[in-house]
Amino acid sequence: MIIIGEAPQTDPGRAPPHALAKLAVLACGNILMTLMISSVLPATGAIARHFSAIGNADLRAQVILLAPYISFIFVSPISGLAIQRFGRRRPLLAVFTLYAVAGGAELFINNFWPLLIARIALGAAGGAITTIVMTLAGDYFTGAKRTWAITIVGLAPALGAVIVIGLSGILVDRGGWHMAFVPYLLSVPILIGAFFIITEPISHGHAVGESAVLPVNFPSLCLVTMAVACLAVMGVVQLPFLLAAIGVHSATSASMIMLASTIVAVMSAFMYPLFRRYLSVRYVLVFLLGCSTVCFLLLFLAKSLVLVTIALLIAGPPSGLMITHFSAVTIERVSPAARGRALGLINSAISLGQLLIPFVSQPLRVWLGIQPMFGVLAAVAFIGGLSAYLAPWSDADRSSVAELDGHGKPPVPLI
C-alpha cells in the first residue's frame, strides 16, 4: 500500500571518519527542530493571556506555537532539492545561523505579527536543518550502521524535549513566557561544532543508472505521515486547555506531564530497531494509531491529573516513533538521488499534520467542548488503525525483519 521495494539487506554497513563526532552534530542539530515547538508548549497558556486583550487569544497562542510549521512545510522539500545541487555542508551552516538569529530575536518581541514573522523564519531554518541532517545520516552511513544512525538522529528531538519541556515550564513560571525561547540559543554552539566537524559527503549526486524519480505511491506515504503526525501530538498540544477545563492552571504541572510523556517517547524511539525486529511496517502503523486511540479515550474520560498523565504516557510512542519510522522507511526505499527531496516531503507532511492541529481542534472545541472533542478524535484514530490493518500491503510490508531474515539467523537491526 505505502512502501515499495524488496526487504533491506542485512550487511553491517560502513561509517565515515570521525563518525561519532559527525553523528553527535547531526543529532544535536535535529534537536533544534523539536525545540521550535516543545520549548514553547508550557508557555501556551501564558501567551494566550498575553494576547487576551486583542481577541481570539487561545487561537493566537496556538498559531504562535505552531507557526514554524508554516515555513517548515515549504522549505523542507526546497532544501532537499537545493542540497542535491549545492551540497550539504554550506546550506547546513547557513540555516544554523538563521535559526540562531530568528530564535534569539523572539526573546525581545512582544507584538503578535513581529513574533509570528520570527517564528516563521525559525521554522524555515528548522525545516532545512532536519532535512539536511537526516540526509547526511543516510549519506555518511550504510547498512545496519545507517539504521542505528537514523535511530539516534531521530531519537534526538524527543531526548532534547525531555530536558527542555521540564526546564521550560519552570522558566515560564518564574520569568514569563519569553523565557520559553531561551533554548533556541543552543543553536550557537551547534553551529560552531558543525563548522569544524561536518564535511561534504564523498558523493551526493546521482550514481550511474540511478533514478531520481520518487516511487509512484510515495504520495500515499506522505498522506499517512501527515495524519499520524496530527494525531500523535494532538493531546500534548491541547493539554494546557484541558488542564484549564479541569481547574489546573500551572505551567509547571503541564510541563511535568509533558516531560513524562516525552520520556516514554524517547524510550520508544530508542527501541525502534527492536520494534522493526518483531513488527512489520503495517503493525507499526497500527500500533501508533492504537496508542492515539487509547490516549484520546482516556482524555475524553479524564477528571483528574492522574488519568490525564496516564493518557499522555500512552501518547508517548506515537510522538517518539513517527519521525524515526517514516524517515527510516523513506531512506531505505528511495534512491540516494531522490533522498533529499523525499525526506523534505516527509518532513513537510509531518509539519503540515501538526500545523493543522489548531484548525482541526478549535472548531471541535467550540462546538463540542474539549473533552467531547477527544471522544471524536478517539473514533477517528480507531477507524484509521482499523483501515491500516485491513488495507492491502506488499509482502515486505506485512513481514517483520525477523521473518524476512529467515529461520534461526540473528538479524541485524533494520528499519
Angstrom CA distances, 139 to 61, 104, 150, stand at 39, 31, 11
The separation between CA 141 and the C-alpha centre of its own chain, rounded to angstroms, equals 21
Q: Report the residue count for the chain.
A: 415
pLDDT of the residue at 136: 92
Cα distances from 179 to residues 39, 45, 162, 190, in angstroms, run 9, 14, 17, 20
| The pLDDT of residue 409 | 38
What backbone torsions phi and psi does residue 223 show, to the nearest 5 degrees?
A: -65, -45
pLDDT tens digits for 11-40? Answer: 455 666 688 899 999 999 999 988 998 889
Question: Among 404, 156, 388, 381, which Cα is nearest to 276's?
Answer: 404
First and final CA of the chain: distance in angstroms?
17
- Which parts of the chain have pLDDT scores under 50? 1-11, 204-209, 399, 401-415
Name 216's Cβ contacts closer than 8 Å, sequence gap at least 6: 4
Name the amino acid, one letter, at 217.
Answer: N
pLDDT at 406: 39
In one-letter notation, the amino acid at residue 194 is A
Q: What is the pTM of this model?
A: 0.75
Three-state helix/strand/coil letters over the chain: CCCCCCCCCCCCCCCCCCHHHHHHHHHHHHHHHHHHHHCCHHHHHHHHHHCHHHCCHHHHHHHHHHCHHHHHHHHHHHHHHHHHHHCCHHHHHHHHHHHHHHHHHHHHCCCHHHHHHHHHHHHHHHHHHHHHHHHHHHHHCCHHHHHHHHHHHHHHHHHHHHHHHHHHHHHHHHHCHHHHHHHHHHHHHHHHHHHHHCCCCCCCCCCCCCCCCCCCCHHHHHHHHHHHHHHHHHHHHHHHHHHHHCCCCCHHHHHHHHHHHHHHHHHHHHCHHHHHHHCCHHHHHHHHHHHHHHHHHHHHHCCCHHHHHHHHHHCHHHHHHHHHHHHHHHHHHCCHHHHHHHHHHHHHHHHHHHHCHHHHHHHHHHHHCHHHHHHHHHHHHHHHHHHHHHCCCCHHHHCCHHHHCCCCCCCCCCC
Q: How many Cβ atoms from other residues are within 10 Å of residue 367's Cβ?
A: 10
Does CATH number 3.40.30.10 belong to domain 19-201+216-404?
no
* pLDDT for position 206: 47
d(CA 381, CA 153): 27
CB 255 within 8 A of CB 308: no
**Phi and psi angles of residue 55, each rounded to the nearest 5 degrees, phi first:** 85, 155
What is the pLDDT at residue 32?
A: 93
pLDDT of residue 327: 86
CA geometry: angle at 350 spanning 344 and 355, to 5°?
120
Q: Identify the pLDDT of residue 13.
A: 54
φ and ψ at residue 147, rounded to 5 degrees = -60, -45
Distance of CA 311 to the CA centre of its chain: 19
